[in-house]
Structure 1
């Protein structure tokens, strides 16, 4: 008989979707997320249960970790030994869990991120507090399921006599879900559970009288009670966690910052290294030395400061730029009713209380059943002792045990269980004193039966049992709160002048995006000559600046890059600068358009932006001061099909002048343009004919009179023309302007640029073939608006002119 093969024609996406769905469900329910009832992930639960079953408990000696790992893998958790051992180690780390569930001998890792020793070297046992998670598990308090190979069974949840999920917290990432639940203080959580049981309508505000907030094993300071409250209400929230620090005065009047507690889940070694890098890279001038003086007495990091350093500013800089202060984001997701759920504090407490009701109910039923069974047996024994001689005679007359039991049942009306107890009774117990003991036991059993029946009949008594046991746990295991909670988030103020060494340097930025700072010594050694730069590149900025200053680099896409000078790469004058893309990521087709050197971000100073399609925007320079600048920031909202062509600084009292490709020039006061925010698009600057666009924009100078200033325009054919401002009339915004070119039928002139100049300036014209022509403005004669100027470039041999820029000769360029 041949076997018939069956094939199904299924779409690949359907098969993959189905399989991934199953995998995701498994990862969510049975791997990465904790249960809301006992606060454990499956691997953690299996480790604790395996140790319990092996008798590897707190009152006994330690056993090799490898033995426990083997038991867990062989009986309950068919996965890699590394995952099991790592979970076991984490439950033993005092800096990871608030109340350790595993005691471990040997190297179990460190707060510096060192790994634990191999499992063959370490020994472990259950901690005292973890025994409370497993207590009464043998009394059918929780449901069991068959293990992976059906050779034994395992619990789906532990009885958990204390709310472990909130006490020890949890972190995990599954498919589509992640969880971050911080650890809390055992006593506070138990108080909140009792409060919720006594007053089920109590809200987060009431519960926070008991639970102040998270209590991290590493201590530290939490700032932001509002964030805690939001997290407890919704399951999500953010708080600031900062290290506990002190400023000490040492020899010679110098100061040092001493760190005694660091934020939760921060690697101490990485933190110390990061702080020392600030000193090495000279990002933080006030630090003389960073030392890790941690020993067995406790954590201690010392940041020794230079004599003139401002300790508060140094500390604030470290809070802002290192893990001495971190954000902790609550994301309280747990498995509730076999489903992942974002849970607030009330939900978590209710899930635990419901679980405890079930546990105590099951335990009471189990104990009641056992008490009734025992009482039944005791009754039989007392009855048998009252007719002992007859019972003995009946047993002696029987053929075997089964016959003896049948005879006792038939003659004295004993039950099967009573008959079994009688025939199994040892002779030494047949004494008068034993009858008394049986009577006392029977009375005690009746009291127990009555008590357990009352618990099962009354929810109030059931809750009182839970409360009593929780109070016992609190009394036995609670310790002092470690984390301090502050209501408000402190504002971090850094005095940059104190933090950054004030040093004059030469900053250079090129059109192609190469940037650097060079010491005056390196610059002087080269006499300012032989700057390393590509032949096709040109300078956008070469200026003496201070390390406390800032450079703003604007791109054609309307973004800007914020570069504090002290953070620029320090490179020799004769070496190529570093490309900005390696410092701040920009798009491939994004070009640096303009660099503005800023000493102070003053409210009175404005930035004016001009786009190719004739938009103008004015914003306060102060609004471009950035706190975070690791990516491009929005300078102006550029519309699709448009690009930024010009940016300049003004003081609000100047005039703006615009020139278009077809030769129109418009001049009007800066006051025509209102101040808007950085993300605005601006307003219409000039009315454009179809096919026309803006090629240049400039502003009049406040330190020169209008009679000293002129307009210079350049055409694509290499013609240049200088005109007096008086040739034009001041108009208003959004007009077309006045024509500046004489129209030709063949090969007409079209503007490629316009600048406001005086006799101190030089104009540089570049052609498409790369030729540059430098023209001193003082050598140009004035023309009227109706001429096309004088040719300075031969279009046929050098190519069309396509770039115009200005240098001021009086500057040390």
Structure 2
């Protein structure tokens, strides 16, 4: 032959070769068939085991015998691939319903490998035989094996919805499948419901029959949104969590892990827990041991006497494989094409397949019965005309002549004539004749029954329904995996990792913040003073309001807890605040919204605007948000208030106005305020607080003069008035004002940074519009720039 060379683009050749390769991997190796739920290697292992006679009620045989049978006849790949697939079908922690009954070392949940195939033995389980039932009775198509010397089944006639029951996982080219195992009884109940109600809704099946996957290792599924998504669209994600219990041992409590998530290596899991303990992430553990045995898993985590088991468990869920995610991708081959299917579609394909298998099996039985009936009809005719039969046989010179004469004399077929010639003389006995007649009548009933199945859809469905019920009765067991439908419990938040306890926080004039459990342990640093304290829970939220209208957010437990003489940390450790921005108010917001109901934050700006918003407006996960809309203005203070109490505002030029809180409306977070005080051209507000009649207003001027006036002396006015004069001399400018009691102490800060304190008792008391007096002769400040009430603990 003349050699011819045809040019071809390498990209076209590569594309063609890669497509052929990927198709081979997808169909011939990596993906299961929707009908029997098996990949080719698993199907060949089961079929070869049946051919070898390795049935569940017979003795085991060496695994190497079965592996060799599979390799030599059906699966021309590596022996390790076949053996590993066979081992997995025998592992109770991997298969929800084992298809191989293994004897010997078949590996462990700790990741130990199985012994070599020459040491282990194998045979089919009873449930595996249900996948192979009637395979020799023309129920499924057979195809050539790899060398054309033998035939193998294209698919097994599985009576079990194995794709869902045992699940499957595999990586093909450009796609992968991840199908979780399910409870056999639940899958069959769902199949029967769909058989009875072809238009059944998915929600009904999930609610009444098939709530979700059921893993061989038990554990829990937390949340059902991922299940619904997977069953509807074929894709979803579920959260698996270990099961545990708490056991008391004297003063101590032990955390016992009894079930772990699917496909988690127990030995590695224990290493993960030990690693957390060694790194100090979990410090309350005194011992860790594995007490697992044949009865089941038992990991003992011995806790110290002060440990909180729930808190420890949440940390283990967060940082170890005690909780993990399982991705669901219901991808399988349908008519040799990879398709992502929903639950209803998978069940429909299985039911359609089983109907086809039942039809094929019925046709096989009908044909067999009709052939036998035809023979019996000939034998009956021969017995009725026995004299003719004897005469024909005596007078014939050969079998062929006798067969042809019988066909002519009795008007029968060749098969019937042949069966007459092969009939034994004992069949002429009366009892034998009665048996033949009984068999003939029985066959008449069977033929009628088989035809009814083939011609009546309802009868076919009835056969399938009875078959499914029988499988459920034989193999169904209890659900192992608990499903918690609340999806909010699936995510372990930071709050779940923190022990809830009382928290007292202080902020000093120089920006030092400290957290403790009690007020008595709060201390300021040298040459510093506490100016703000709040109390709540370690799970609450801290809000830092700035003069630029921002609110910075921290969780209370984010602040390090300090004990004894420790003074705390600089606020800059926790918050990145711009240089020109100052924190003017520290507040605490309860974790639960119900606890902050009817609470408000009220804001006052330098220009005299006031605004109130609900506390929950500031509940956020962001590091900071806008607290108020400002227009060339800045905040002077933020106070937690109700919606009705009286408020007062003080200006730099020495005016105060008191008005009712219900004189303005509550608005949203990012809004401007209403006018609180009508300021003159060169004036601005410097202080704002809630009115309390027994407290005093202490006013301090920039040059160190002061007075105190009981707040009850300032009568309520309408909002947006000019207010009342605090002191008579119009030349004084206030450095600051505070609300305080008689025995309180005040911090006075000078422009040069020097700070000092004075007692409220030392400040002269006057009436509104009275004089201002030098507070103390010892003050040698430059211009005073700030006044704060000192918190004493």
Question: How high is the TM-score relative to the length of structure 2?
Answer: 0.66
Q: For the Cα contact (< 8 Å) 2:242–2:258, is it kept in 1?
A: yes
| CA shift for structure 1 position 299 | 1.2
CA distance in 2, matches of 1:29, 1:321: 39
Q: 2:283 aligns with which of 282, 285, 291?
A: 285
CA distance in 1, matches of 2:114, 2:550: 60
What is the number of residues matched between the two proteins?
573
Q: For the Cα contact (< 8 Å) 2:96–2:181, is it kept in 1?
A: yes
* SS, match of residue 160 in structure 1: coil
CA distance in 2, matches of 1:425, 1:617: 109
| CA shift for structure 1 position 176 | 1.8
Superposed CA RMSD in Å reads: 4.0
Answering whether residue 583 of structure 2 is matched by residue 651 of structure 1, we say yes
| CA shift for structure 1 position 91 | 0.8
- Residues 409, 106 of structure 1: CA spacing in aligned structure 2 closer, same or farther, 3 A cutoff? same
- Residues 678, 148 of structure 1: CA spacing in aligned structure 2 closer, same or farther, 3 A cutoff? same
Per-residue CA deviations over 1:706-764 (Å, capped at 9, x if unaligned) read xxxxxxxxxxxxxxxxxxxxxxxx9xxxxxxxxxxxxxxxxxxxxxxxxxx9679xxxx
| CA shift for structure 1 position 7 | 3.5
Answering whether residue 264 of structure 2 is matched by residue 235 of structure 1, we say no
- Name the structure 1 match of 2:544: 605
- Name the structure 1 match of 2:344: 346
- Residues 320, 425 of structure 1: CA spacing in aligned structure 2 closer, same or farther, 3 A cutoff? same
Per-residue CA deviations over 1:637-671 (Å, capped at 9, x if unaligned) read xxxxxxx99789742679xxxxxxxxxxxxx99x9
| CA shift for structure 1 position 421 | 1.5
| CA shift for structure 1 position 381 | 1.1
Pairing 1:249-648 to 2, within 5 Å after superposition: 249-251=248-250, 253-489=251-487, 490=489, 492=492, 603-605=542-544, 620-622=552-554
Pairing 1:740-755 to 2, within 5 Å after superposition: none
Pairing 1:26-45 to 2, within 5 Å after superposition: 26-45=24-43
- Name the structure 1 match of 2:730: none
* SS, match of residue 554 in structure 2: helix
Q: For the Cα contact (< 8 Å) 1:286–1:498, is it kept in 2?
A: no
Q: For the Cα contact (< 8 Å) 1:284–1:499, is it kept in 2?
A: no
CA distance in 1, matches of 2:201, 2:334: 20
CA distance in 1, matches of 2:326, 2:95: 16
| CA shift for structure 1 position 435 | 1.1
- Name the structure 1 match of 2:202: 204
Q: For the Cα contact (< 8 Å) 1:607–1:648, is it kept in 2?
A: no
| CA shift for structure 1 position 701 | 15
| CA shift for structure 1 position 604 | 2.1
Per-residue CA deviations over 1:199-240 (Å, capped at 9, x if unaligned) read 011111111201121111111112212322222111122222
CA distance in 2, matches of 1:192, 1:441: 39
Q: For the Cα contact (< 8 Å) 1:313–1:499, is it kept in 2?
A: no
- Name the structure 1 match of 2:760: none
| CA shift for structure 1 position 279 | 1.2
Q: For the Cα contact (< 8 Å) 1:606–1:621, is it kept in 2?
A: no
- Residues 111, 607 of structure 1: CA spacing in aligned structure 2 closer, same or farther, 3 A cutoff? farther
* SS, match of residue 257 in structure 2: strand
Per-residue CA deviations over 1:349-400 (Å, capped at 9, x if unaligned) read 1011110110111111111111100000011111112223432332343333
CA distance in 1, matches of 2:484, 2:168: 23
Per-residue CA deviations over 1:173-200 (Å, capped at 9, x if unaligned) read 1112211111111111111111001001
| CA shift for structure 1 position 460 | 0.5
- Name the structure 1 match of 2:126: 128
CA distance in 1, matches of 2:39, 2:256: 38
* SS, match of residue 109 in structure 1: coil
- Which runs of 5 or more structure 2 residues have no equivalent in the other structure? 504-511, 518-537, 559-575, 587-605, 610-616, 627-634, 639-683, 685-750, 755-793
Q: For the Cα contact (< 8 Å) 2:212–2:483, is it kept in 1?
A: yes
- Residues 679, 83 of structure 1: CA spacing in aligned structure 2 closer, same or farther, 3 A cutoff? farther
CA distance in 2, matches of 1:679, 1:250: 44
> Rg larger in 1 or in 2?
2
* SS, match of residue 32 in structure 2: coil
| CA shift for structure 1 position 545 | 11
CA distance in 1, matches of 2:220, 2:78: 38
- Name the structure 2 match of 1:22: 20
Pairing 1:76-225 to 2, within 5 Å after superposition: 76-208=74-206, 209-225=208-224
Per-residue CA deviations over 1:141-163 (Å, capped at 9, x if unaligned) read 11111111111111111111121
Q: For the Cα contact (< 8 Å) 1:606–1:619, is it kept in 2?
A: yes
CA distance in 2, matches of 1:112, 1:396: 79
CA distance in 2, matches of 1:617, 1:424: 108
Q: For the Cα contact (< 8 Å) 2:545–2:585, is it kept in 1?
A: no
| CA shift for structure 1 position 411 | 2.7
CA distance in 1, matches of 2:414, 2:448: 25
Q: Which range is displaced more, 446-455 or 419-428?
A: 419-428
* SS, match of residue 237 in structure 1: strand
Per-residue CA deviations over 1:498-525 (Å, capped at 9, x if unaligned) read 599x9xxxxxxxxxxxxxxxxxxxxxxx
Per-residue CA deviations over 1:95-151 (Å, capped at 9, x if unaligned) read 111111110101111111111111111111110011111101111111111111111
CA distance in 1, matches of 2:123, 2:42: 14
- Residues 679, 297 of structure 1: CA spacing in aligned structure 2 closer, same or farther, 3 A cutoff? closer
CA distance in 2, matches of 1:35, 1:647: 66
